[in-house]
Amino acid sequence: MLMAMKIAFATASINAAIRTGDARLLDKSVKSLEQAFARLPEGHNQFPYVAAALAIAVRERYERRGDPADLERALDLVWSAANATPPDHRQYGWIQSELARTLTMHGGPTGQRTMLDEAVVAGRRSVGDLKLRGRDLAVRHTVLAIALNARHNLTGDDEDLAESTEHMRVAMGGSLRSAHDRATVAANNALSRLVAYDRFGRAAELDAAIESLNTIVSRPDDGYRQRLIDLSYALRRRHYFPVVAPTSMPQSTPDAARPVMAHSIRLKTRPL
């Protein structure tokens, strides 16, 4: 009972730390989960959940502080959770999604194709549940879209780009109660559409990006400045379309640089 209470408190602390940006609360949740994890044998029924929750906490700390050791630790933990979770496990889809997210975060910036391939496979497994609804549907399809887009950025595979855009379309159809979740999914949809526009030059992609960004551009959070940059970029593209091709559009300022679908705007997935 004490162990269960400690785990519940730690995972609640992760959610609160993510929501509020409280670094001390995040450190406290990492410490509590580390203690719980150290006491769990690998065959324990709580092992996959605790390993994945700890991976999320350590990965969040990496995103804030940039220590590569935290990202390596998160990847080891989420792999441990995935290896201990068979397809019929009730947390299988969630853990596969967290595996995809962590692999993309590691493999995208370093250009590791094998890691991105594994991220896409895990992402596809996570969306295989036909009963997915609401937040789970939006989160998992967005994670898969980010993995596909990261691989497209590395390989130039147009099929990955097309599939990424389709998964963001599905994610936009998810029912999201949290304004933060809605903003994050819409921002990732906009970035996916901008990348697709840059590749194919279709005005419809640009219009969809502008529509998504217009719904969230005024939200005052840590992604506010980036959304203004992306909206400015999209509007400039739209102004010049179709007078010049996408690749020849004037780039007068650094803010007009081609956005990349990355984790600068990231989904905060609850451990539960």
Rounded distance between C-alpha atoms, residue 126 and residue 134, angstroms: 14
Question: What's the pLDDT score for residue 105?
Answer: 94
- Determine the average pLDDT of the residues in 101-105: 95
Within 10 angstroms of residue 89's Cβ, the number of other Cβ atoms is 14
Burial classification of residue 207, based on how many CB atoms lie within 10 Å of its CB (0-12 exposed, 13-18 middle, 19 or more buried)? middle
pLDDT tens string 53-83: 999 999 999 988 899 999 999 999 999 999 9
pLDDT at 254: 32
Please list the alpha-helical segments (H only) found in the chain: 2-20, 23-38, 47-65, 68-83, 92-110, 113-126, 134-155, 158-172, 179-200, 203-216, 224-240
- Average pLDDT for residues 105-129, to the nearest whole number? 94
**What value does the mean pLDDT take over residues 86-105?**
93
pLDDT digit string (tens) for 122-157? 999 999 877 777 888 898 999 999 999 999 989 999
pTM, entire model: 0.80
Average pLDDT rounded to a whole number, residues 200-219: 83
pLDDT over threshold 90, residue 210: no
Q: Whose CA is closest to 35, among 77, 7, 61, 8?
A: 7
Percentage of the chain with pLDDT > 70?
A: 80
121 residue type, one letter? V
pLDDT value of residue 268: 40
pLDDT at 9: 65
Higher per-residue confidence, 153 vs 234:
153
Mean of pLDDT values over 98-107: 95
pLDDT of residue 244: 43
Q: For residue range 169-205, list pLDDT tens digits in order.
A: 899 887 777 777 788 888 888 888 888 888 888 888 8
**Which residues fall within 8 angstroms of residue 272, CB to CB, at 6 or more apart?**
11, 15
User: What confidence tier does 164 reach under pLDDT thresholds 50, 70, 90?
Assistant: very high
Return the CA Rg of the chain.
Answer: 19
pLDDT at residue 32, rounded to an integer: 84
Q: What are the tens digits of pLDDT across the range 12-51?
A: 777 777 777 788 888 888 888 888 888 888 788 889 999 9
Q: Single out the residue of 110, 173, 178 nearest to residue 142, CA to CA.
A: 173
Q: DSSP letter at 259?
A: P
Asked if pLDDT for residue 246 goes beyond 60, the answer is: no
**Once rounded to an integer, what is the mean pLDDT over residues 234-242?**
71
